[in-house]
Structure formats: C-alpha cells, structure tokens
Structure 1
C-alpha cells in the first residue's frame, strides 16, 4: 500500500516497493562506487522521543538529494521521508517520476505557495519526516548562506497543532567543491532543536530566533573537528 500524505491540492507519497529497491541500491552500489568514502557522524543525536522530524541539511551538490536520504532514511529514521523539491526538479522526466514516488512534492523556491507550505505542515502533523534544504539553493563555496525564513514559520505552526516536532541540523561536506569521481563525503548530524521551547515567545520573535538558532547549529557542525574522510558508514 502506498504511504500517502494528501493535503488537498498537493500530495506526496512513498511507494514501499520502490523504497525497498532504491535505498539498498544507492547504499550498496551507487554511493560506494562513485565516492571514495562516505562518513556519517552524529546518528546518536537523532531524538528518540520526537513525534515528527524536520531534517535541515546544508546544500552543496545535487548529490545531496541521494546522500542525505541514504544517511538518515529507513531504517535509521523509522518514518517515511518526504521532501520539499523545487518545481523544476520535480517535473523533469524520469527524475521527476522518481521524486514524486519517493516522497517529493514541488515548491516554488523563490515564492513558495500557501499550498506547498500547508502540505509541509501536514507531513509533520501526520508523524512523517520532512527534509528541507534551508538555504534554498546549492552553494559550492562551503559557507553557510542565509537561511530562508519559511522553514522556521512552518515548523512552529506544525508544533502548535502537533506537539513533539524537532528540527535536526545536518552539515554535508564533500572532498572537493565539484564533487568529482572518488572524492569523499561526510554527513554530520547535530543535536535536534525541540520546537516546544519557541511557543512561549511572541510570533514575530519566535521564527527569527529559531532561524538564527538553526544557523548557529549548522555553523557549529561545520567548524567541528573531524577525522580524514575514509571508509563507508552507510547502513545496508
């Protein structure tokens, strides 16, 4: 049976049979073949008591769309992953077919529609996991760019109607900006930000504060001492 989230004008689904094929294929064949090493750090930071998770990774390459779900998707995260994907990417031929059947739903990254935002909230309200790249675009310079404010507003609204939402910061880095053949990749998972702590603040203050806290968490991950990229930590 399809795992579907339907909020009216927008829906997203994960086909179980397709997920059972694609996750092992990517983890055992695609990523180990292309990358010289795949390192995952901080899995112990994933909260065990959260009702819904909103993953917020940095965005350094189109490879992120495969690397991130392989690092945190089933069985690591017990819930289906749903993704906010740019409308252009979600409508591209065969790629769009896979995106739409692996939890992706479209959003205009320059001017998100109310329907896309409401669907993101619906994903969290139904206990699924949501992945949003908070910078809104790919930046290859290795620096954190200003985060889009919509993620914080969406997360706080979801928390008000469905308590137990946590944001999980994720830093993704590659051995080279061009992400060439056999370079290394590291995924660093930070401590989650429980949304309940922001509800007692005025609405005009809560979202900017959360956005800044998330930016601080991502910068802290980027500055953490790390070991050389070596080996593979991908789940099987």
Structure 2
C-alpha cells in the first residue's frame, strides 16, 4: 500500500519536475516474473526506475536497514519492509548467495524484481563488472532479464549530496533476455559469468557508459550507500 501511495503522490511530482525520457516501456511484461537489471549511478536510480511501470517492483536493500536499533533505525526498517524490499547481506561469499532466496520467492510469485548487478553505485561513472547473483536468479527461476540503462541520475543526486538537482534523465529499457537454455546450470561458475557478462553488455549499450572489467569499490565503512 505504501508503494502504491508513493506512485499516486511522489511519482507524478518526479515526472513533472524532471520530465525523464523513458524508452522501451513495452519491454516490461504486464504480468508474470521478470528481472530488471540496471546500472547503478545514484540513490535516485530507485525513484526513476519506479516510473517505468505501474506494477510493484521489489528491490534489494542492505540487511543493516532491517536490523538497526533506536527510533530512527526502526522507522527505516519498517519503511523498507512496507515498500516490499528484500534484505541482502553484502558481506560476500555464502551469506550473499543465501540472500538470493527471498529474491527467488518474489520471482516465483510472478512479480518484478530489480537488481543492480554492480552491487553498489559507480563512483567514476563507468559501468563496472557485474556480480553473478543476477545470473543465478535468472537460471534458478527461469525469469527473463530485462536490461535497463539509466543516465543523468548521478547529476540529480550525486554521491554525498542530499538535495536533488535539476538534470536530464533518460531510462532506456531493452528487450528481454531469455536464458532458458541454461536452466539448471546455476551452480556452474563459468555459465554464471558468461550470462552475467551478456547482461552487462546489454546494459552498457543502453546506458552509453564505458565498461570497466573490475568490480566497483565499496565506499568506506560508515558512509551511506
């Protein structure tokens, strides 16, 4: 309900203020599961991504948001839960892999799930190497992957800035990528890497970013992602 309320109130304000250019809406299915795989430039990415469809889009949120103490922490935790976000442990390894379980459930329920394969925001404007979680989700659920390229959101809300700025924003939605031929191969590391790289190539073409074959460096501890 909170998500729908924001669609009725905040979304029209964002559209009227920034007038983002959105291409390829027809590539997002009206029903059924799909993985929206997007580049990550800014916190504002979430807000503009939510404009592409009237359907609810579940996303990942770092697990710390769900377990914070204090009044403010509990308020944040309650908000992300009501928005339908999925907790993810970003410490890496087995914990991060296990965190995909709730994401699979979202897709198995026939819903939309958005993921930023880079794992965190790009600090240099380049598109960085994708983590294989997106491929694991696609192969485990059979859901199509819809690549999305955002541009301009890093100008609207640069890292470290809290007051949004005016900038031209574009959202380009690519045609669905079907990886059904790899069904059941989510344990094969080479397959996961190949599928992930194909997804990142599609995102690079849509976003216009230069691709860099290195992972995005995380920001120092204590800094908000």
In the superposition, the TM-score normalised over structure 1's length comes to: 0.73
Q: Render the CA deviation track for 1:147-200: whole Å, top value 9, x for unaligned.
A: 1112211221122xxxxx101111111176463522121111111111213238
Could you tell me how far 1:138 is from its partner in structure 2? 0.9
CA RMSD, aligned part only?
2.5
SS at match of 1:109: coil
Alignment correspondent of 1:13: none
| Structure 1 spans left out of the alignment, 5+ residues | 1-16, 160-164, 225-236
1 or 2, which has the higher strand percentage? Answer: 1
Q: What is the alpha-carbon distance in structure 1 between the residues aligned to residue 208 and residue 88 of structure 2? A: 31
Among 206, 210, 213, which residue is 1:221 paired with?
206
Among 96, 104, 108, which residue is 1:125 paired with?
108
Q: What is the alpha-carbon distance in structure 2 between the residues aligned to residue 56 and residue 195 of structure 1? A: 14
Alignment correspondent of 1:166: 144
Q: What is the alpha-carbon distance in structure 2 between the residues aligned to residue 200 and residue 85 of structure 1? A: 27
Q: Say if 2:35 and 2:146, in contact at 8 Å, map to a contact too.
A: yes
| Structure 2 spans left out of the alignment, 5+ residues | 158-163, 210-225
In the superposition, the TM-score normalised over structure 2's length comes to: 0.76
Please say which of residues 81-90 and 188-197 is displaced more in the overlay.
81-90
Q: Say if 1:26 and 1:70, in contact at 8 Å, map to a contact too.
A: no
Among 18, 37, 42, which residue is 1:56 paired with?
37
Could you tell me how far 1:207 is from its partner in structure 2? 1.2
Alignment correspondent of 1:151: 134
Could you tell me how far 1:93 is from its partner in structure 2? 4.7
Alignment correspondent of 1:14: none
Where does 1:225-236 land on structure 2 (aligned, <5 Å)?
none
Structure 2 residue 118 is the aligned partner of structure 1 residue 135: yes
Q: Say if 2:156 and 2:165, in contact at 8 Å, map to a contact too.
A: no
